[in-house]
Structure 1
Amino acid sequence: MMGAMGMEVERFTEHRRTLFGIAYRMLGSATEADDIVQEAYLRARSAHEIPAAPGPWLATIVTRLCLDVLKSARARRETYVGTWLPEPVLTGEVVDLGARVSPLLGGADVDALEPGARLDAAESVSMALLVLLETLSPLERAAFVLRDVFDWEFDAIAAALERTPSTCRQLVHRARQHIASGQPRFRATEAERQRLLGAFVQALSEGDASKLASLFADDVVASSDGGGKVKAARRDVIGPDRVSRLLIGLGRLGAQAGMLFEFCSVNGGPALLLREHGRLVAVLGIEVSPAGASLIWMLRNPDKLGRLEATLAAEAGATLDGSREVERVGRGGELLN
């Protein structure tokens, strides 16, 4: 350890993206992840001693703060109106979420990971995976994220979670089994994803329900999150015919309201941003398997769109209100770790 009067913001910022990446995957909320990272900075700034290599120490702070939030999050989910979906994050036109080996710990022994256990960067922030992560216990979720997304060694995970390495191995094993049971065996290629998105938009614009249904997997699910703030289906819609009719109906309503849409990458996958009079009112994303579109998700809760819209404005070079940013370490932006 080295003595210090607290960590300077410039030094903390070197680790901010990785810390945000851990917090977002653990919480499914970019806004809460921003708050966690800010709290970690405040603790680091007031610390009397800071390690010479502060990455693991900062990540441990973030992990433990997230565990505290997750304990109360379950109760909030139970009272949530309708389907709860994670808060969307922009991942750029070209998905590049950074190196998989965590720079915090100098890199883990990647070859020691079980075959098939590694998650690529885009998959680790997909809506489908984040929804599955919600079904894990807080400790399982933390262990899974640290091991299979950030490649931490089990000794480091044990120190962060205050458990034994053996216990952490069990947590990761249970989490992997649960995640594997809810994921398709095969992944679609990027070319398949792009082809399906183009066909999806064309069928939707033509109002062709049968053509749209032909693009879906047999077990396709449509989930909508309005949070009780705006109109949205409160239960999942299942099956190609029902999902296609739902989307065609929404498309007609959107056309009547003069909505415009644009393409972008959200949570590592293709998505449509829907705007009404210039204001972002919904994000529609598609999870694709080789059998077709397997999940259609629509985020309409305005409380979960504000940060994304601010990120889009910043990307476009707009000036954002910085009144709340008093020595704040900044937003997570694109997930780079």
Structure 2
Amino acid sequence: MVDARDEQDPYIENRRLLFATAYRMLGTVTDAEDVLQDAWLSWSGVDRDAVRHPKAYLVRTVTNLSLNRLTSARAVRETYVGPWLPEPLLTSPDIAVETELADSVSTAMLVVLETLSPVERAVFLLREVFGYSHAEIAETLERPEPTVRQIAHRARAHVQARRPRFDSDREQRRKITAQFMEACAGGDLNAVMEMLAPDVTAWSDGGGKVTAARRPLNGTDNVARWILGFLAKPELAALTMEPVVINGELGILAALDGHTVGALTFDLADDRIQNLRFQVNPEKLGGLTPDNGLTRP
């Protein structure tokens, strides 16, 4: 593995960008870290003197490794048990201030990116998030520039049509998060229902590893009753909930006996919770520990 003390190594200098690229491409912390490890192995074996632009070389390597992994991952996700949600990432509170950056890594955006083809996803991210020119993207993906322009236009239109546009006021989100946790902890069905939008939808990703709803739940009554029924389980009597910044937005972290067991992210519309995404798959909670050494985007 690369020596982290070598601050002049282009891999170390650009690791934040490389992780951000891989994570947004793949939607999982684990796969992003695997891609970075593969990229380092590739970088460690290359003739550095022959690489004129190390940053471009590394981004190209990570992008193409992510493309290969995403293509194979799609086949696996077709047999996934229940809804598939991106792997949540504990991010710095500072990222929530940078609206554009927070939006690009939000759970809602990652869900939208899942609807793009792997190549569309790569082009969209490189162009719209990281600001690369069409020519640079064409070189990275080894495709003609006119083709890249067409893909970029198609991907941008696709994302704009599906991108959620909800209230992002930080103070209001903090207030609603606190109220929601209080209502859930108190088992107050009416209070929970009042906080949910009439057309609310809830997804829960257990991956077949732990109990979770196998299908999306719709409507205030169904969603509220499912949440409170889940929390009322005897084995969850000692569950604690804490507001934390997840994927650039304030969400809720759930822990049991000091161990993280789930994460909740949600959207707001007219001060009501519009969409809830529960990640409880134990294999997808690795990005929720602050001391795991990951470089956050």
Query: How high is the TM-score relative to the length of structure 1?
Result: 0.80
User: What are structure 1's unaligned runs of at least 5 residues?
Assistant: 1-7, 99-118, 315-330
The superposition leaves residues 108-129 of structure 1 with CA deviations (integer Å, 9 ceiling, x where unpaired) of xxxxxxxxxxx81111111111
Q: State the match for 1:183 in structure 2.
A: 163
Q: 1:81 to 1:248 in 2, by over 3 A?
A: same
Distance 1:167 1:188, change over 3 A: same
- How far did 1:254 drift? 6.8
Distance 2:95 2:149 in 1: 30
Structure 1 equivalent of residue 290 of structure 2:
312
Distance 1:204 1:148 in 2: 38
**What residue number does 1:236 align with?**
216
Q: Distance in 2 between matches of 1:201 and 1:254?
A: 18
Counterpart contact for 1:192–1:290, Cα < 8 Å:
no
Give the unaligned 5+ runs of structure 2: none
Q: Give the alignment's Cα RMSD to 1 decimal.
A: 2.1
Q: CA deviation at 1:237?
A: 0.6
Q: Distance in 1 between matches of 2:122 and 2:283?
A: 25
Q: Residues 216-255 of structure 1: matches in 2 within 5 Å?
A: 216-253=196-233
Mapped contact 1:92–1:265 kept (Cα < 8 A): yes
Q: Does 1:303 align with 2:291?
A: no
SS in 2 for 1:163: coil
Kindly indicate whether residue 243 of structure 2 is the aligned counterpart of residue 263 of structure 1.
yes
1:158 aligns with 2:138: yes
| 1:291 positional shift | 5.3
Given that 2:195 and 2:273 are in contact with CA atoms closer than 8 Å, whether structure 1 keeps it comes out as yes
Q: Which has the higher helix share?
A: 2
Deviation of 1:256 after TM superposition, in Å, equals 4.9
**2:185 pairs with 158, 183, 205, which one?**
205
Aligned residue in 1 for 2:94: 94
Paired residue type of 1:93: P
Counterpart in the other structure of 2:51: 51
Assess if the C-alpha contact under 8 Å between 1:97 and 1:334 holds in 2: no
Q: Distance in 2 between matches of 1:77 and 1:14?
A: 33
Aligned length: 290
Following the alignment from structure 1 to structure 2, what is the Cα–Cα distance between the partners of residues 155 and 299?
38
Deviation at 1:9, TM superposition (A): 5.3
Q: Does 1:126 align with 2:106?
A: yes
Q: Distance in 1 between matches of 2:39 and 2:234?
A: 42
* Off by >4 Å, runs of 4+ in structure 1: none
Q: Check 1:13–1:96 CA distance in 2 against 1; reply closer, same or farther (3 A cut).
A: farther
Distance 1:254 1:184, change over 3 A: farther
Change (3 A) 1:153 1:290: farther
Please give the TM-score of this superposition, normalised by the length of structure 2.
0.90
Hey, what's the Cα distance between the residues in 2 that align with 1:251 and 1:56?
Answer: 48
Q: How much does 1:216 deviate?
A: 2.1
Query: 1-side partners of 2:163 and 2:200: how far apart?
Result: 13
